[in-house]
Amino acid sequence: MPHPKSPPRPAAAPHRPARAEDTLYRAGDPDFMTSLARGLHVIRAFAGLDCRLTIADVSRATGLTRAVVRRCLYTLRELGYAASDGRAFYLQPRVLSLGYAYLSTAPLSTAAPPILQELSERIGEATTVAVLDEGAVVYVARASTSRIMSVTLGVGSRLQAYCTALGRVLLASLPQTQIEALLERTELTAHTRFTVTSRERLLEILAEVRAADFALNDQELEIGLRSLAVPVRNVLGTTVAAMNVSAQASRLSSRELIESVLPALRAAAERLGSQLAP
């Protein structure tokens, strides 16, 4: 999408340094495998834009010591999940099998693609289904268009929840105490001049989203990008995901998104939700 002198593309949701109580060890829990937890944190450190990371990079991203990171990366390399150029490490295709095990069996991931594709073809815009993981949204299904966007996203991509329509729909479905706790742990960064970074204002917005049952993001993540999202509820009415439509701001105004796209988006979300058992 052409937008001269636009802000840098938004990065994937950053990983907080590992918290000892939930990743390094769990005192009194004999079944918790600390080594496995550390290895998974090391793999997740590669989820950002940089595909090659040094031991020091991974240590900073995970909060693990360099000695622990070195052993984890050595093990991953020996098992074929990672490789090294002598200085930096990078993941190997074998790591895809870990995510594919979920994508090939989860009802949400298998039911969403045809519905998203049909919706995308009908409205001519990209569509996505995502779930909430701590303070980030994770894409589990997506149907893109030929239109050029400067943000390249696909299944498995992570974005911060507070500044996305998908994330706000999902956050709004949580208990108030949980919302406040998540926002408190989240670093609120301004990706554009429109990004809301006030926790007080975000709480107000989430209340508005809960009342309206949809969220509209107007260029808060990227200049020139608007997004409209609605909840996906299972047969019991529980919000299990969010579905959105992303469009170029030059093509669709906020009012046009709500008036012409929202009904089709809601119908698609209801259709998907009707296929999801508790």
Render 129-153 in DSSP notation, one character per residue. Answer: EEEEETTEEEEEEEE--SS--SS--
Residue 177 CA to residue 190 CA, distance in Å, equals: 24
Between the CA of residue 127 and those of 67, 97, 100, 150, 263, what are the distances in Å?
43, 25, 21, 16, 14
**Would you list the DSSP string of 239-254?**
EEEEEEEEEETTT--H
Q: How much is the pLDDT for 2? A: 42
Domain covering 20-95: architecture? Orthogonal Bundle (1.10)
Q: Residue 33 pLDDT > 70, yes or no?
A: yes
- Topology of the domain comprising 106-273: Beta-Lactamase (3.30.450)
pLDDT of 250 reads 87
Cα–Cα distance between 174 and 252 in angstroms, integer? 30
Enumerate the domain spans of the chain.
20-95, 106-273
Task: Report the pLDDT averaged over residues 80-86.
Answer: 88
pLDDT at 231: 97
Specify the higher pLDDT residue, 255 or 145: 255
pLDDT digits (tens, 9 = 90+) for 176-233: 999 999 999 888 999 999 999 999 999 999 999 999 999 999 999 999 999 999 999 9
Whether residue 149 is predicted with pLDDT greater than 70 in this model: the reply is: no
Q: Measuring CA to CA, which residue among 201, 198, 206 is closest to residue 174?
A: 206
